[in-house]
A and B are shown apart, each in its own frame.
Chain A
Amino acid sequence: MPQVKIIAKNFMDMVASLPALKLDKLYDNAFICEAILRSLPPLAKKYVLQMLYIDVPISAKLLQEWVLADGVSKHNVAVDRLVQLRVFIETVDRKKESTYRLNPKFQINLQKHIVHGGVLPREPMPSTITVRLPSLEDLEAYAAEQWECFLLHLISSAQAERTTNFSSSMMKIFQRGLLSQRDKEAPKLTESGFQFLLMDTNAQLWYIIREYITNSEERGVDTADLISFLLELSFHVTGEAYNMNTLTDIQRNVIKDLADLGLVKLQQGRKESWFIPTKLATNLSISLSDLSSRKQGFVVVETNFRVYAYSSSKLHCEILRLFSRVEYQLPNLIVAAITKESLYNAFENGIMAEQIISFLQQNAHPRVAERIPSVPENVTDQIRLWESDTNRVEMTPAHLFDEFPSRDVFEAACDFAREYGGVLWEDSKKMRLVVKAEILGQMREFLRR
């Protein structure tokens, strides 16, 4: 059985947590097989490829012989993952030896792919009909703008200039966990809300999509259908137009929502309408954060703790305000200062120093991004120092043992606890001992003997 607990950190974890029946249904779609294969750890990909044309089950022992002694842990992770995703079907025979074979649907789909080469999910529309296609730069700008508008709307609906088409109930769902609203007060960002704003776009997008998927059942959309559509979308070519008529009704509704997020751009022709996937959509299934998907940075941090942000966006201003004091705003420039007070404020809100630093680094202006480090060291060090100021006291759950019957028992107990690395404090004169809470069970067992 899989030993790794599933936390939906990306798309594939989400897929892995689906019930077996739905998962098997998903594998009918060749694109999903492809996306799943690409998301696997390197060793797992290798195993799938190796077993693609083997029709008999392979014993776990034989599988283990493929790796060197160093790789056993990686091997186990790979096999667990394959079993989790039901790519490997595990059977345990009477001698308790497990054998694996590939999921037949998955196998057939991939075999087809390898023999014929891949295909595209839909044919792009001929360029005669779609005359005015946006250029790739325009498309990227559109996606960024759309996404920013959505984010601004998300954190404070008052500030957004345009409204999105998401119903307010939908918006509430997204805001759940990010904002907390007490009676009659303006909604306030929660700890995770702050962290959300500092994440890179791919991570933010994933968070929103995850919420979107988990709530799909309430809107009467099947989770598996939605996932398969989203994955399929990521195999479309960025910047090509695809006819809306090829979509089902449900998909058409979904794509309108996705357009609000900036994943696709909708265009209307004289007779037909079409959608154009943006980079956000095509990166959806890719688990690695691709350098090319990162937008250009805008922040310059000086050694005197001053932050210059070349941006006119309100969202950026809001984000900077989270951890710095905004001093003045020019049409294309925001000047802020990182101060002790502003940082303490941020720490109180649950933002961590590393998040601030990584935000500054990831969004460094191209002029300073080439430099190493892109954020001056004295600033990053000071941010970390101020953070450690706030955590001078470290708390560890612990248990106190005293009134030992004899010194021998006390010393034996100390040695035992030391072996587990659980001694926090001991006083040999008064025979008292404090151990970490984790080893309480073992200690009890030991003292009972």
Chain B
Amino acid sequence: MTSVTPKLSTDDVSLLMVLLDTNPFFWSAANATSLSFSKFLSHVVAFLNSVLLINQLNQVVVIATGINTCDYVYDSAAAGAVPNQRAEILLQKLVEFVVKDEQLGKEDSVNGIGSSLLSGSLSMALCYIQRVFRSGPLHPQPRSNLMKLLVWWQILCLHGSPDGPEQYVAIMNAIFSAQRSMVPIDSCLLGAQHSAFLQQASYITGGVYLKPQQLDGLFQYLSTVFASDLYSRNFLQLPKPVGVDFRASCFCHKNTIDMGYICSVCLSIFCKHHKNCSTCGSVFGQAQSNAPSTSNQKRETPET
């Protein structure tokens, strides 16, 4: 008889946050070209099923990203033990969400394809992860030699709408807090153009950025690239970033700029020269001679 030591093969547990882009303007535009929303959903549901299939400890949370609001749509931990109703629960909640999103948006009309509220859903995902970290036994403790379950979260953005430059600060803050809590952000781009925000998000947090060539085979892309747990990623050939658009948006007009002015105190970015910093209030001098130093009065960045 061999002595059996308890083996902890918990390396491959993955807890996945999926952010679904439900921007109606984007999907109505995409409907004509390649992938309709319903097809997209069937790919996603199959993907969620497969993630939950490969490990009994895996957990999936879905957050819908609308243009006016975002909300939790599905949580496999809360949904009970009836696996064959997964799709129904998800779809029902999604319908409720879309209706709510539409009602909220009636006041201001958006021209063209608006951007969806990525910053909001990213923050919600991070809040959820923080809540689990703090409350449960699932807190990652690399130092402890106790047999704690090491569980890592990851965020997957299925995103199609163009970037909203006005969300720049909020998204960057979310990215940095994801980096701090070691949560990689994967992004899968469904639209025609690349997203600078998500490129940066994946680059900074060590996630994967991918823009599938053929959206018909979305499931294959998802299962090949994004279903891999963080442990296996060390051994797998995954798509490498081709180039990352590091351009920032200015704080004053929310334009994406190549070159600009930066506040030496709080590092806020402006597209043209200002008398004083709108974020921290420092006064900028025209020339070096008449620049009184008021740098110590630092204020926090207001949340946008």
A residues in contact (CB < 8 Å) with B: 7, 9, 34, 37-38, 41-43, 45-46, 49-50, 52-53, 65-68, 70-71, 74-75, 110, 113-120, 177, 192, 195-196, 199-200, 202-203, 206-207, 237, 286-289, 291, 352, 355, 358, 372
Contacts and interface: CB of A to CB of B under 8 A. Distances in A.
A287 B5 CA distance: 11
Contacts of A289: 6-8
A200 B235 contact: no
B242 to A, nearest CB: 18
Given A68-B237, A117-B83, A45 B54 contact: yes
A148 to B, nearest CB: 19
A117 B86 CA distance: 7
Contacts of A53: 219-220
Interface in B247-268: none
Nearest to B9: A288
Interface string B80-113: 0111111100000000000000000000000000
B11 interface: yes
A102 to B, nearest CB: 13
A94 B149 CA distance: 48
B3 A49 contact: no
Q: Chain B binding site: helix, strand, loop or mixed by DSSP?
A: loop
Given A46-B227, A114-B50, A286-B56, A68 B236 contact: yes
A286 B227 CA distance: 21
B54 A67 contact: no
B181 interface: no
A114 B46 contact: yes
Contacts of A358: 5
4 A-B pairs with the lowest CB-CB distances in the bound complex, closest first = A71-B235, A42-B12, A118-B83, A289-B6
7 contacts: A37-B54, A43-B235, A46-B232, A65-B237, A68-B234, A74-B235, A114-B53
Nearest to A177: B1
A289 B10 CA distance: 9
Contacts of B228: 46
Contacts of B4: 9, 199, 203, 206-207
B3 A199 contact: yes
Interface centre among B4, B55, B85, B146 (most CB of A within 10 A): B4
A117 B85 contact: yes
Given A195-B1, A372-B145, A42 B53 contact: no
Nearest to B12: A42
Contacts of A202: 6
A118 to B, nearest CB: 4
A237 B220 CA distance: 31
